[in-house]
Amino acid sequence: MKEKKRTTAFLARPGVQTFISSLLCIILGLFIGFIALLIINPGGAVKGILNVIQNFMYYPSQAVRIKYFGQTLVKAAPLVMCSLSVLFAYKVGLFNIGAAGQYVVGAGASLYCALALHMPWYICLLAAIAAGALLGALSGLLKAYRNVNEVISCIMLNWISLYAVNTLLGQVKEAASPYTKSLSSTNKSALLPNMGLNVIFKDDYVTLAIPLVIVVAVLIYIVLEKTRLGYELQATGANKAAAKYAGMRENRNLILTMAISGGLAGMGAALLYLTGFEQWSVTQSSLPGMGFNGIAAAFLGGLSPIGSIFSSYFIQHITSGGAYVDKTMYAAQISDFISSLIIYLCGFVLFFRHFMAGMVEAREAKKAKGSGSGAASETDGDSSSDKKGGEA
């Protein structure tokens, strides 16, 4: 009897419900992805989906595995930042689809400071944060004072940033290729410090970025949940008019939210490009997927800063895994396909949670009615009410 009470309470907890819903999204997403692989080429579907899930486990050697695990982490770090950016804005009732553009200007600012101005890494990092924050604040300003929907303004700014950054970084690109000069040959001081992590992962790209991202996630959690500022911001998001009535400066809060959100995305870019892992291609004509995957990670993580660390890693894990599928059968974009399916399914999370809450309620009602019967039969009754809850 005692144990049963605990399980009911366990399922009723919002955190648990979110976790189960997210897991459901992942499983469904992978399953539909698997079906797509089956349709394209039944012969390699099992191996294909396993490649996506396994990622670096594809390699038999332990040493190589840990190296590629490190590289997945390197790319997951900026993703965590982008998902924090999206979730921070979302908690305040804003949909920051501009994380992609803020990420782009972050990359532009950090690389320009590093390659053209030969600044050390911390200045480059700050420049990236400032650039992202400015761009975010611009969307916030337009929303607060000109009533421009932030989704539309962010999308316009995304494309403007892309072309602007391409032009800016065109000044520091290699002569023979469309890529920016490498940090290690031009300005070593701009590389993020390794802090010994490169020894553990046997990979020089693993840097300070990884622990820093976790610290930032915890900070965002504290700001949102434990400070007055976070409370004010969330109150503004819940009801702008009520917040104003309660004496909060609602326009300032809107702009501040977008600035913080933008700063996070901009910082994410710096945490990738200052490792030297990637160079910016100044001819790219589509936005980097990082900002959009950030939306996926934020929702998959149940809009919790800590959850987004895990969901971001997962999204990056399968995105990197896509590189291992047999290219003669499938496109590497199968991972994009799966992660976008997962985002789509995240739209149903609310429904899943309602559904689960309904199930818990139905079970409690049943228990209240049928109390007094033996322990053994009650367990039976419990499992059958489970099914009934499913039908209701």
Partner 1 sequence: MLLLVQYTLVFASVLTLVALGGCFSEHSGVINIGLEGIMVIGALGGALAMKFMPPGTPAPLILLLVTLAAALAGMLYSLLLAVAAINFKADQTLVGTAMNLLGTAAATVFVKAMNTARDVSNVSATIEYIEQKKALLIVDGTEFNWFMVITVIVLIGAYVVLYKTRFGLRLMACGEHPQAADSVGINVYRMRYAGVLISGALGGLGGIVYITAGVSAWRFEYGVAGFGFLALAVMIFGQWKPLHIALAALLFGLFRALSNVYSGFDVLASLPIPSAVYNMLPYIVSLIVLTFTSQKSRAPKAEGIPYDKGLR
Provide the binding-site residues for partner 1, judged by CB under 8 A: 36, 40-41, 95, 97, 142, 146-149, 151-153, 155-160, 163-164, 166-167, 285-286, 289, 292, 295-296, 299, 327-331, 333-334, 336-337, 339-341, 343-344, 346-348, 350-351
Query: Minimal distance in Å, beta carbon 343 to partner 1?
Result: 4
Secondary structure of residue 23 in the 3-state scheme: helix
- Cα separation, 375 vs 127, whole angstroms: 64
Between 66 and 172, CB nearer to partner 1: 172
Residue 164: partners with Cβ closer than 8 Å, 6 or more residues away: 105, 108
Q: Where are the alpha helices (DSSP H) in the chain?
A: 2-12, 14-40, 45-54, 62-91, 99-115, 121-146, 150-169, 183-186, 197-201, 209-226, 228-238, 240-245, 250-273, 290-300, 305-321, 334-346, 349-369, 375-391
The one-letter amino acid code at 42 reads: P
Query: Minimal distance in Å, beta carbon 337 to partner 1?
Result: 4
- Asked whether the beta carbons of 299 and 82 are under 8 A apart, the reply is no
Query: Minimal distance in Å, beta carbon 156 to partner 1?
Result: 4
Between 83 and 158, CB nearer to partner 1: 158
Produce one character per residue of 276-290: b if its CB has 16 or more CB atoms within 10 Å, e if not: bbbbbebeeeebbbb
Between 39 and 63, CB nearer to partner 1: 39
- Cα separation, 290 vs 77, whole angstroms: 10
Between 23 and 331, CB nearer to partner 1: 331
Between 10 and 145, CB nearer to partner 1: 145
Query: Minimal distance in Å, beta carbon 218 to partner 1?
Result: 25
Query: Minimal distance in Å, beta carbon 162 to partner 1?
Result: 9
Between 53 and 155, CB nearer to partner 1: 155
Instruction: Write a three-state SS string for 108-145.
Output: HHHHHHHHCCCCCHHHHHHHHHHHHHHHHHHHHHHHHH
Query: Minimal distance in Å, beta carbon 344 to partner 1?
Result: 4
Between 78 and 276, CB nearer to partner 1: 78
Query: Minimal distance in Å, beta carbon 160 to partner 1?
Result: 5
DSSP classification of residue 304: -
Q: Where on the phi/psi map is residue 15: left (φ > 0), alpha (ψ -120 to 50), or beta?
A: alpha
